[in-house]
Amino acid sequence: MKKTGNTIARVYGAILLFCCPLTAVIAADAQPVASVVQATTPSLAAGLDYERARWHPLHFKPAIDTATNEQCLSCHQEVLEPSVKTQSPAGVKSADALAWYQTLEVYTGEQETFHRRHLVTPLAQQVMDLKCNFCHQGNNPREEAPVPPTATTKEAGFTLRKMVDPEETCLRCHGRHPSELMGLPGPWEETREMMGNSCVTACHSGIRTVRHQVNFLKTEAIEKAGQDNSDTCFGCHGGRQWYRISYPYPRHAWPGMPAATPDWAKDRPTESDVRFRVSTPVATTTGSPASTEAAKSGDTKK
């Protein structure tokens, strides 16, 4: 019995070592790896064991709503460590593999880890302004799914054991390109040439000109990058698709917007989520007279 107990203890200790991120970062001399974290920022978990650290107030409402990247990364800076494996378990070298999202012209550099790709890579720095709490809205160690399940699971705030609700985070930039709603004769990959290979010139200089008005994106930088290269637009609107559905973006009113709402958009919100709204809207592309007239005529499926 004693031998069995010791074995269980060793296995449990190994699980904590490899699965619990705080076990490593509480150690001395753990240093941040990116400029987003100051080297002098003390770990919020300093002096706490793992069990106490996971119940830190920052992991719960309302503190998580105002948590800064510096606070989060003071304990979780290992997520920014360059740690892409050189080859897969099957022996395929990463240098010889090309993911579909790497075929976009705006993709630069080698393959990167998830958090680095969203926080510290050149494209992330250029057009994104993501915060840790954009995805991570806290984590309650208690049961994350009601037992038994109910019809109001989501309304009750449960995400079925997920640390993040992908429907309100990942899907925003990794959904399917809704070419049928846009009135295109086919997917963007097949029709981009006939559209002048430009989202802005083809349609969006006069239709849905109020866009990207959220605090997790850099509006002006995206508009400029989209004019320079349509892959900037397509990258987040189908080019890096992970899901079979599209995100139902809010239909912010734009100059010349028809009063009639198409059937497919009648359930769409007209404003972004409160926590993502910007206090001062940023001006986007000004539509040309011709494109504005097209918008008034009802060609507004975008």
Q: In the prediction, which pLDDT does 145 show?
A: 67
Between the CA of residue 152 and those of 17, 147, 155, 163, 267, what are the distances in Å? Answer: 36, 12, 5, 19, 20
Amino acid 271 reads E
261: Cβ contacts below 8 Å, ≥ 6 apart: 251
**Per-position b or e across 128-140, b if 16+ CB within 10 A of its CB:** bebebbbbbbbee
Map tokens 């429907």 to a residue: 167
Start-to-end CA span in the chain (Å): 68
Q: In the prediction, which pLDDT does 159 show?
A: 64
Q: Give mean pLDDT in consecutive 10-residue pieces for the chain, a chain of 302 residues.
A: 44 40 34 41 81 91 93 93 89 86 87 93 94 89 68 63 83 95 91 92 89 94 94 94 94 92 91 88 50 38 40
pTM: 0.74
Let me know: does 64 contact 16? Beta carbons within 8 Å. no
135: Cβ contacts below 8 Å, ≥ 6 apart: 164, 169, 170
Q: What is the DSSP secondary-structure string of 94-163?
A: GGG---GGGGSTT--SS---HHHHHHTSHHHHHHB---HHHH-----SS-SS-SS--TTTTTTT--TT-S
3-state SS record for 242-287 = CCCCCCCCCCCCCCCCCCCCCHHHCCCCCCCCHHHECCCCCCCCCC
Q: In the prediction, which pLDDT does 119 show?
A: 95
Q: In the prediction, which pLDDT does 242 show?
A: 94
